[in-house]
Copies of this chain bind each other. A is one copy, B any other.
Amino acid sequence: MKTISENRCFGGTQGVYCHASDATGTEMTFGLFVPEGAPGAPVLWYLSGLTCTHENAMTKAGLQAWAAEAGVAVAFPDTSPRGDDVPDDESYDMGQGAGFYVDATEGEWARHFQMESYILSDLPETIFAAFDLDHTRQSITGHSMGGHGALTLAMKTPGRFRSVSAFAPICNPSASDWGTPQLTAYTGVPSAHDATVLLATGGIDIPLLIDAGTSDKFYDKLGLDAFAAALAMTKTPADLRLQKGYDHSYFFVASFAADHMAFHAEHLA
């Protein structure tokens, strides 16, 4: 692991690091905020959306203020493997910057696009080996494609996370062009990575908070109606908030970052 930068931030440290990942077969960059004076702090994973790197949320979501107050570390992974020898696609929602947090099995993607294993194994092993953080206390959140990642990874690994939240998540990708083409190309089976399908078939047993903005121009791609119906049909404890006038941007994420951090901090305590 190599340190790219470390900045003092709300009394703690906002670092950017890189490491060689066995899962992706590439060098991967990630951000990590560690609060001051909180050895053994719990960790909140923040998964970013399409086109993002490790950097967007780290600089624009404003999570560090609340994380410092709550004594919670926040990890900001990248959204895909990257590099000249890593396959890509001309569209913004496929290939580099658009890993969809799954392990690809199909075609040229299978070699490097192993983001599920990267987020669940490689990166945590790297982080917990290098920093004094508590691997028994982890929660997960994310935005858009990262909300899809947070919801599906939490449902795929019962017991792993203490709470899950999402900002404007893609939550019915097998019925959306934000999901179906990509998950088909990567894995052949979009429904196996669809939060609505996973909820209806296996459920989720940890506290769940979702925010979405009613002026989100990508709203119809998210599938919130199907997910909301599935939540109610399965009687899943949850808080689903439709926030008037907010859009899909980091201004929306930042506006509710304090609520999400307070939610996770309560369950990580």
Mark A residues whose CB is within 8 Å of B.
Answer: 212, 214-215, 219, 224-233, 235-245
Give the most central of A229, A230, A243: most B CB within 10 Å. Answer: A229
CA distance A243 to B229 in the complex (A): 16
A229 to B243, CA, bound (A): 16
Could you say which residues of chain B place their CB within 8 Å of the CB of A239? 239-242
Report chain B residues within 8 Å CB of A242. Answer: 231-232, 235-239
Contact B233 A225 (CB under 8 A): yes
Q: Which of B229, B232, B243 contacts A237 (CB 8 A)?
A: B243
Quote the shortest CB–CB distance from A87 to chain B (angstroms). 35
B238 touches A232 (CB 8 A): no
Say whether B237 contacts A240, CB under 8 Å.
Answer: no
Q: How far is the CA of A204 from the CA of B210 in the complex (A)?
A: 21
* Cβ–Cβ contact B232 & A228, under 8 A: yes
Q: How far is the CA of A238 from the CA of B227 in the complex (A)?
A: 15
Chain B residues near A215 (CB-CB < 8 A): 235
Contact residues in B for A225 (Cβ distance below 8 Å): 229-230, 232-233
Give Cα A240 to B208, complex, Å: 12
A214 contacts across to B, CB distance below 8 A: 235-237
Least distance between A139 CB and chain B CB atoms (Å)? 17
Min Cβ gap A169→B in Å is 12
Q: A241-B238, A243-B237 are contacts. A226–B229 as well, Cβ < 8 Å?
A: yes
Residues of chain B within 8 A (CB-CB) of A231 are 228, 242
Closest to A212 in B: B232
CB distance from A201 to the nearest CB of B (A): 16
Nearest CB in chain B: distance from A266 CB, A: 14
Cα–Cα distance between A245 and B224 once the two chains are bound (Å): 24
Specify which of B219, B226, B229, B235 is in contact with A219 (CB 8 Å cutoff): B235
| 20 A–B contacts, CB within 8 A, in A order | A219-B235, A224-B232, A225-B229, A225-B232, A226-B229, A227-B232, A228-B228, A228-B231, A228-B232, A228-B240, A232-B240, A232-B242, A235-B242, A237-B244, A237-B245, A238-B241, A239-B239, A239-B240, A239-B241, A240-B240
- Distance in angstroms from A106 CB to nearest chain B CB is 31
Inter-chain contacts of A236 with B (CB < 8 A): 214, 242
